[in-house]
Amino acid sequence: MDKVTMGPKTLMYPMPTVLVGASVGGKPNYMAAAWCSIACMAPPMVAVAINKARHTLKGINENKTFSINVPSTRQVVEADYCGITTGARVDKSRVFESFYGKLKTAPMIKECPVNLECKLFNTMDCGSHVLVVGEIVETYVAQEAVAGDSPDIKKVDPLIYSDGKYYRVGERLADAFSAGKAYKKSR
């Protein structure tokens, strides 16, 4: 493959679209975030890169709790709205219906099929953004998004973000931890 150099860029494929929830001054606030990933298995942790100017970050620092909410494609308008408006200027507390769990101070979104309730574990100042790492203390999944014992990606129907556009998941390709068994050394 011939390559084209593009300089240092934050390219990753695909990126999720999540809504980070925090209580700021006692009011739920939600922001869209695409720079989010699982950070650890035991204990379960998630990491999200949050710009220092975000109103949501104030609430995370205030309570040491936050939530990661996975919207479905049905919530594309509301999710994007939370990515183009700041809680510093507009009240986003009624965009969604909020609920609270074990930690009491991490607002979560009823309409989102998956919610991760998080306790702040650590932050790392990376420059423009702070990497916020949270321990997942509880996971909430909408009944209708569960198939058998676990969530079904097609039922969750998550919003995928790439290059300024939203997508939905495509077709199943192969079984993970298994497809590689067909690899032949002679190739």
Ligand X SMILES: Cc1cc2nc3c(=O)[nH]c(=O)nc-3n(C[C@H](O)[C@H](O)[C@H](O)COP(=O)(O)O)c2cc1C
Judged by beta carbon, residue 49 or residue 146, the one nearer ligand X is 49
Stretch of 39-47, 53-61, 167-175, 179-187 lying at the interface with ligand X (CB under 6 A): 53-61
Q: Which two tokens stand for residue 62?
A: 């205030």
Shortest distance, position 10 Cβ to ligand X, whole Å? 9
Asked if residues 99 and 108 have their Cβ atoms less than 8 Å apart, the reply is: yes
Q: Show the 3-state SS of 15-77.
A: EECEEEEEEECCEEEEEEECCEEEEECCCCEEEEEEECCCHHHHHHHHHCEEEEEECEHHHHH
- Give the span between the Cα atoms of 30 and 134, in whole angstroms: 16
32 is a site residue for ligand X (CB under 6 A): yes
Q: Which two tokens stand for residue 85?
A: 């408006």
| Interacting positions 89-128 with ligand X (CB under 6 A) | none
39 is a site residue for ligand X (CB under 6 A): no
Q: Of 16, 27, 44, 49, which lies in the binding site for ligand X, with binding defined by CB under 6 A? A: 49
70 is a site residue for ligand X (CB under 6 A): no
Shortest distance, position 48 Cβ to ligand X, whole Å? 6
Reduce the DSSP state of residue 120 to 3 states and report it: strand
Stretch of 30-38, 93-101, 107-115, 135-143 lying at the interface with ligand X (CB under 6 A): 30-38
Judged by beta carbon, residue 8 or residue 180, the one nearer ligand X is 8
Chain residue at closest Cβ approach to ligand X: 83
Nearest to 34 by CA among 169, 163, 122, 168: 163
Residue ranges binding ligand X (CB under 6 A): 17, 29, 31-35, 49-51, 54-56, 80, 83-88, 129, 161
